[in-house]
């Protein structure tokens, strides 16, 4: 699966059912391992404010479906 495939999916918090936004970027360390995904809050798409960003680690991802990515709580 490519990053561009993941960027088309909505991120949903399974604890609250809240839509958190979509992946806009990934933080990769010098070994090539993804440390976290940067998710832009859907409310801030028009204004592109950094305050609307959420970091989601690989461990928080519980299920990747056809339309959504389900994650455990956001820290």
Question: Which of these, 74, 46, 49, lies nearest to 60 by C-alpha position?
Answer: 74
Which residues 6+ apart lie within 8 Å of 35 measured at CB?
Answer: 27, 28, 29, 57
Contact present, 43 and 51 (Cβ < 8 Å): no
What pLDDT, on the 0 to 100 scale, is given for residue 10?
94
What pLDDT, on the 0 to 100 scale, is given for residue 53?
84
What pLDDT, on the 0 to 100 scale, is given for residue 47?
55
Q: In the chain, what are the domain boundaries?
A: 3-71
Contact present, 34 and 53 (Cβ < 8 Å): no
* pLDDT in single tens digits along all 75 residues of the chain: 888 999 999 999 999 999 999 999 999 999 999 999 999 876 655 555 546 788 999 999 999 999 999 999 765
What pLDDT, on the 0 to 100 scale, is given for residue 54?
87
What pLDDT, on the 0 to 100 scale, is given for residue 41?
78
Please tell me the CATH superfamily of domain 3-71, with its number. Answer: PRC-barrel domain (2.30.30.240)
């Amino acid at each position: 699966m490519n990053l561009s495939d993941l960027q088309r999916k909505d991120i949903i918090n399974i604890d609250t059912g809240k839509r958190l936004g979509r992946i806009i970027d990934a933080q990769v360390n010098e070994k090539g391992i993804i440390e976290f995904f940067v998710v832009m809050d859907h409310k801030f798409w028009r204004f592109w404010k950094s305050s609307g960003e959420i970091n989601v680690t690989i461990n928080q991802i519980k299920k990747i479906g056809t339309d959504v990515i389900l994650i455990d709580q956001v820290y």
